[in-house]
């Protein structure tokens, strides 16, 4: 058994699909006038000349990507200068003995009283 309401809805949808709505000429004229008012004039605006840095930033993805790259670089430097013990242990297991190089040297002279004025 078919439901009479379902048949009526199917007929209504079929009628709606058979019609192609077209906007009036007045509506299209108003839409185009609004669009022309919002857009800058193409003839008066000269295209900006992008420099190398701006082109590179556009290629990378803008400031959010540059910020992410900077943060990754800082984190890499941090792990390189002061690696966690997990990295040292893993390196010792992989290579045999870890090699540690003191990049900053002795910092004792930085904190002595002779360096303080006053």
Alpha carbon distance 29, 117 (integer Å):
78
Q: What is the pTM of this model?
A: 0.35
Please report whether residue 30 resides in a domain: no
Alpha carbon distance 71, 66 (integer Å):
9
The pLDDT, as a whole number, for residue 78 is: 87
Please report whether residue 100 resides in a domain: yes
Please report whether residue 84 resides in a domain: yes
If phi over 0 gives left and psi between -120 and 50 gives alpha, with beta otherwise, what is residue 61?
left
Query: Of all residues in the chain, what percent are helix, strand and coil, respectively (each to 5)?
Result: 65, 0, 35
Q: Closest Cα partner for 88 from 99, 78, 77?
A: 99
The pLDDT, as a whole number, for residue 93 is: 80
Please report whether residue 108 resides in a domain: yes
Please report whether residue 90 resides in a domain: yes
Q: What is the domain extent for residue 100?
A: 53-113
| Counted domains in the chain | 1
Please report whether residue 70 resides in a domain: yes
- What SS3 class is residue 19? coil
Q: Are 104 and 98 in contact (CB under 8 A)?
A: no
Please report whether residue 59 resides in a domain: yes
Please report whether residue 37 resides in a domain: no
From first to last of the 118 residues of the chain, give the pLDDT tens digit.
567 878 889 989 988 888 888 899 999 999 999 998 888 765 555 556 678 888 888 888 888 998 999 999 999 998 888 877 787 777 778 877 666 777 767 766 666 666 555 5
């Amino acid at each position: 058994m078919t439901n009479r309401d379902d048949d009526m809805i199917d007929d209504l949808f079929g009628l709606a699909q058979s019609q192609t709505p077209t906007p009036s000429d007045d509506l299209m004229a108003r839409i185009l006038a609004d669009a022309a008012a919002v857009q800058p004039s193409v003839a008066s605006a000269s295209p900006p000349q992008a420099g190398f840095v701006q082109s590179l930033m556009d290629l990378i993805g803008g400031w959010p990507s540059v910020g992410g790259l900077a943060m990754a670089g800082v984190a890499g430097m941090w792990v390189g200068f002061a690696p966690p013990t997990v990295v040292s242990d893993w390196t010792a297991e992989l290579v045999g003995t870890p090699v540690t190089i003191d990049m900053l040297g002795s910092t004792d002279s930085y904190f002595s009283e002779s360096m303080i004025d006053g």
